[in-house]
Structure 1
Amino acid sequence: MKTTGTRARHPLARFLIRRILIALLLAWGITLVTFVLTNMVPGDPVAANLGQRALGDPAIVAQWKAEHGLDKPLPEQYLLHLQGILQGDLGTSQQSHRPVGDDLAAFVPATLELAGAAILISLVLGVAFGVVAALRRDRLPDHLLRVLSLIGISVPTFWLALLAFYVFFYRLQLTPGSGRIDPGMTAPGPITGLHTLDAALTGQWDVFASAVGHLITPALVLALYTIGLLTRFTRSAVLEVLGQDYVRAARAKGLPGRTVLFRYVLRSALVPIITVAGLAFGSLLSGTVLVEAIFAWPGVGQYAYKSATSLDLPAVMGVGLVVGVVYLIINLIVDVLYGIIDPRVRLQ
């Protein structure tokens, strides 16, 4: 009985330990999958990185393979790759001739800033629109928001990015051009790599205003699809909760509508909303290639594209590892929020 009581006292701690162990196992699986898939890509990395004259010299080809570990069997290559990851070494990029870790440290913060702003806008607007649509079911606001959400889900992101750049920058000149800050400005000190946050921390408010101005248009373009998705999911979740007996009982007790909405309805509807938001953030982080190209945003999407076209295997595996780990971290955060919001989850 004493053991059972001790176990019951810390259900959230046991829940977190299980999730962390599963995340570590999945992280190992990501390293294996990225390595195998990268090496299955058709093409010869030697031909992609050496010139025609060098390819004709067997000694140069052998030396290049030896430098990049391509002269060893695949299992040995994987073990060396895994050993390097554990030591914080992701290899050397064949296109930039720099450590892949340094390249990712330069490019990942830009994508994180863009995807983070997009998901923040999506959460605020998507959840608010979904709640309004549910509370005004089958009325004019509901119909309008459902049409807008359908448009957001249906419109291709690359087309919307081109249209936004042409209209708001080229024609109306309401937003700044491409890049993360104005050309004449110096980027703030690399504290976090996020220009908006670094500028605010160092008190460079002119740089902060420029960074926000450059961030808002691509973030809104990326957020439109997620806003539509969250609007529809929030509406469905809130409508389902509104029909529960405990919500009717809370209203029958005479509780204020705001209390019923935030304490009873939204808390119960948060689980599916958090799930969609977590998946959407992972998709935004790994799917910004076209938007980054249109707005000349120096993020990991452009780095991954250039690495893939030049068969830069260490860089491709590094990008795959980073994206996979980000997904794991997001899923872990979502699982933790599940356990905090719904006690039934951590008791399972």
Structure 2
Amino acid sequence: MSRSSSLHDYVLTRLVLAPLMLWLITTLVFLLLRATPGDPVDALLGPRAPQAAKEELRQQLGLNQPVWWQYLDYMGSLLRLDLGKSLTSQGQSVWEIIQKFFPATVELALYSLAIALVVGIAIGVVSASRPNTPLDLGGRLFGILTYSIPMFWLGMLLQLVFSVQLGWFPLGTRFPITMPAPEGWTGLYTVDSLLHGNLPQFFTALYYLALPCLTLGILISGIFERIVRVNLKQTLRSDYVEAARARGIPESRILIAHALKNALIPVITILGLTLASLLGGAILTEVTFSWPGLANRLYKAIAQRDYPTVQGIVVFFAAIVAIASILIDILNAAIDPRIRY
């Protein structure tokens, strides 16, 4: 089988499996929402509302229909890319909610990922290049701690120390109300402020991003630290590295130009999984820091029993993870032919 043919078959398989995964996630979320206790009508009108008003609203929302009919109706809407309308946002469509809140989540995720990559790779390289030393032990301990510490606990602790006690960082907002927020088509405050050449807005946006991004980024960095440390240790023991040492190449050059380049290949695979971790961690981060992002809006929709909003946001997140996973798999398959067989 030729290289191009095997890559084509691999990509085609991944593209076929992605819609199946989205369908399974959508179905699972749909059923779980209706299996959990609570009624969206009670959440909207209150438990003491007249029964006639409840029945009228239930009929308007289509909740009086059998579950199988609601499911078929919702799947038909999804095929038309219609995520429905929110039950709690005065008829606002789910797409409008995503458009409004998603940029804040993207900005939080991107800067957190940047911090995770820099911190994780740096600690992983130092740990692997100094085996069986206190630096190596510290790197392993860092990976264990970042994996085991609950995000919400660390977030609350950092807020108490750096925001409440020391007053170094702000709380509960994305931008100060005393300044005009950056405007632009991206919705990313740091990007829009740079596009308009407004440096004060840019640094202010970074200042408000700092604490939540550091919290999420440091916790996720442990993933990259463990991957880099393990793979770099194996690479440093490989034959071509030993041959480079025998030729008298400096150790620092061997580490950076030879070993690290190959040890970073698995990081590409981890990026797809880390995206899912970022979206999951973003929910806890946004709720803990009251960050006005889409994950925080999802949390509120769950509490309010807003079926269309919960289903729409979850499907949207799942689609992002599926697309990212496909792109990462294709990139890996192009780099490493063994993955395709």
Same fold (TM over 0.5): yes
2:198 match:
204
Q: Distance in 1 between matches of 2:330 and 2:248?
A: 33
Residue-by-residue CA offset, 1:225-276 (whole Å, 9 max, x unaligned): 2122321221112112222223323433445545543454334333433333
1:317 match:
311
1:307 match:
301
1:89 match:
82
2:182 matches 1:188 = yes
**1:1-348 equivalence runs, <5 A:** 7-9=2-4, 11-52=6-47, 54-57=49-52, 60-97=53-90, 98-255=92-249, 257=251, 260-262=254-256, 264-346=258-340, 348=341
Q: Given residue 13 of structure 2, which amino acid in structure 1 is its aligned partner? A: R
Q: Distance in 2 between matches of 1:158 and 1:53?
A: 34
* CA apart distance, 1:304: 1.6
Q: Distance in 1 between matches of 2:206 and 2:217?
A: 15
Q: Distance in 1 between matches of 2:134 and 2:54?
A: 69
Q: Distance in 1 between matches of 2:210 and 2:163?
A: 12
Q: Distance in 2 between matches of 1:118 and 1:324?
A: 20
Residue-by-residue CA offset, 1:294-334 (whole Å, 9 max, x unaligned): 32210123212211112111111112212212221231232
Gaps of 5+ in 2: none
Residue-by-residue CA offset, 1:176-232 (whole Å, 9 max, x unaligned): 343111221222224122211122122222111111111111111112221223212
Gaps of 5+ in 1: none
* CA apart distance, 1:344: 2.1
Q: Distance in 2 between matches of 1:53 and 1:168?
A: 43
Contact 2:3–2:337, Cα closer than 8 Å, also in 1: no
Q: Distance in 2 between matches of 1:149 and 1:287?
A: 17
Q: Distance in 1 between matches of 2:257 and 2:71?
A: 51
Q: Distance in 1 between matches of 2:206 and 2:287?
A: 19
* CA apart distance, 1:123: 0.8
Contact 1:45–1:313, Cα closer than 8 Å, also in 2: yes
Q: Distance in 2 between matches of 1:241 and 1:177?
A: 44
The structure-2 alpha-carbon separation of the partners of 1:46 and 1:177, relative to structure 1 and needing over 3 Å to count, comes to: closer
Residue-by-residue CA offset, 1:72-117 (whole Å, 9 max, x unaligned): 2222222221222232321111111211111122122211211221
Aligned-pair identity in percent equals 36
Q: Distance in 1 between matches of 2:253 and 2:151?
A: 38
* Alignment length (residue pairs): 340
